[in-house]
Structure 1
Amino acid sequence: MNRKRLGGRRMGIVTTFDAVAEHERTRVALRAVVLRLVRLLRDVPDLEAASGVPVWTVGDVGAHLAGVHVAYSTGFTDETLEWDALLPPDSGSFSERIAAVNATSIGLFGGEERTRIGEFIGERSEMFLRVTEGLAPDSPVNAPWLGKDLPLTLAAATGLMLSESLVHGLDIARGAGLPWTIGPDEASLVLGQAMPTMMPLGLDAEKARGVSISFDLAVKGGPRLAVVVENGAATVTRDAPPRTYDCRITAEPVAFLLVSFRRMPVWKAIAYGRMRAGGRRPWLAMRLGDLIGSP
């Protein structure tokens, strides 16, 4: 297996992270979270109850999650999906495309199928982990639902499956009135593995036109991301070399994950001391969420 170490600086201290080891931790976290998700869905008293996602029921969220796990596991098996029939034309913004794909996903499972959707998610997640075991984290993944010719890696795909399971588990739990926790280590893995790929995709190109802003995103106990918006495009670099930034955002991992997915208002994270802004232009912190939409 190709093992590589990536280096950077954190608060003036040289740091490194092992890409292979972190990917393996993400796989372990995904398996554990999906086991919790299966139990959660089994305990849901009413699949028709409103969820934490506007206009979606708890059952809709479960169906969407099942679609997510099917999509990623199918990419590594002999199964085929008629993506041209399932996906909208490759046009419009990334957010519009994802909204259309999400709307399609909740219709893939209905009726009695939804009563065992937790078990189905568990089976497909285990299939994904089994068929990708031993593959390098930078192995390419075909993800047509995100866009044609998107250079998605296995590490990013695993992080995305973890984020979907964590955040939508919260949506289900809120609708069902059941407990659900997101741990800081789990959130940190999502931010380090998935966000460098997903944040640039979520950039609103119109709002970013003519904008030049650099953010230093320091996640407590987690990754450090350099987010640079320039000329209508965004780049996100893990543990980038030192440079001068317009704004530094320091955040607890769970708070930043929930704010990024619009499950927590930014004012609440700030009021509770879970996020703060600094640097030479700290007021620009509010622009990050305006420029980059929910993954």
Structure 2
Amino acid sequence: MTLPFPAQGPGAGRGALFDAVTEVGDAAVALLAGCRGATPIPGAEWTVAEAAAHLAMANELMAELAAGADRPYGDGTPGSLAAANAASLAERPERDPAVLGAEIARQARRFTAAAGPRGGGEPVLTPLGGMDLDTLGAYLLTHMLGHLYDIAVALGRPHPIDRRRVGLTMPFLRTAMPLVVDARAAAGHSACYRLRVRGLDGFAVAFTDGAAVVSQEPPRRPDCTILTEPVAFLLIALGRFTATDALRRGKVLAWGRRPWLASSFPGLFAAP
């Protein structure tokens, strides 16, 4: 697979990513401390403990991928990933939030220890297909932020998403977008979008007859430019926030020849 963006370079960029992975893993410990694991996640089938168990297992999977292990996990489609998630939860009965929080943090550190000595551009095969090692790190960070947000909402506690961390998820989000297009929703769709995230780099997504290509600059005149507040951008990308709600709350602004396309843009993708 050819990535549309270069891998993060060595030094400060990788260090910031690895620091964020460690910080967010450690945030899980505090978030899960003293909570009721049976608390349901709003809008989901999982409880807090089940979401934490999933995170612990996903972090372990990504740490092993970073170490060079071959760990098949579904085929990248939402249905296969859901089945793999259910199977892995059934195999791991631990549901103590404190134990799971510590495991989430431990596996996050294990990832950075395994990835650090390797080149950021080294290819790895992930649940969403091929990507480079540093993009896998951004994938891990994105995955933790999404599920820890759900847990925080369920518990009424602060979530760990902020602008800096959203910026570090961008390499994965850009890589994943063409992979998670909803073929039914996007069928026949052709339009060019410029996406701008306040305080962060922007990029473009061009649809041609339902197929999406991500690039740094628009390949043609944008039909719709979308400016989003960083936290709202990630929550919309992960299906936790609707574009309509974000537009209504002023978290998203849109303009261009076809600004109405902004409200339906997230629906062109199916987050796994």
Identify whether the pair has TM-score above 0.5, normalized to the shorter chain: yes
Q: Where does 1:237-276 land on structure 2 (aligned, <5 Å)? A: 237=215, 239-240=216-217, 243-276=220-253
| 1:14-35 Cα shifts (integer Å, max 9, x gaps) | xxx9644433322111111111
Distance 1:244 1:265 in 2: 26
Q: Structure 2: which amino acid aligns with 1:119?
A: A
Query: What's 1:10 paired with?
Result: none
TM-score by length of 1: 0.82
Pairwise CA distance, 1:180: 2.1
Q: Structure 1: which amino acid aligns with 2:195?
A: L
Distance 1:79 1:129 in 2: 15
**Pairing 1:37–2:22 present:** no
Judge conservation of contact 1:61–1:106 (CA < 8 Å) in 2.
no
Change (3 A) 1:37 1:294: same
Pairwise CA distance, 1:250: 0.5
Query: What's 1:48 paired with?
Result: 38
Change (3 A) 1:286 1:49: same
Query: What's 2:19 paired with?
Result: 28
Tell me how many residue pairs correspond in the alignment.
267
Change (3 A) 1:157 1:53: farther
Pairwise CA distance, 1:232: 3.2
Mind listing any 5+ residue stretches in structure 1 that lack a counterpart?
7-16
Pairwise CA distance, 1:104: 2.7
Q: Structure 2: which amino acid aligns with 1:247?
A: C
**Pairing 1:223–2:201 present:** yes
Q: Where does 1:147-226 land on structure 2 (aligned, <5 Å)? A: 150-190=129-169, 192-226=170-204
Judge conservation of contact 2:225–2:259 (CA < 8 Å) in 1.
yes
**What is the aligned counterpart of 2:77 among 94, 102, 122?**
94
Query: What's 2:212 paired with?
Result: 234
Judge conservation of contact 1:216–1:248 (CA < 8 Å) in 2.
yes
Distance 1:65 1:232 in 2: 32
Distance 2:219 2:266 in 1: 23
**What is the aligned counterpart of 2:49 among 50, 59, 78?**
59
Q: What is the identity percentage for the equivalent residue pairs of Structure 1 and Structure 2? A: 30
Distance 1:128 1:215 in 2: 34
RMSD, matched Cα: 2.4
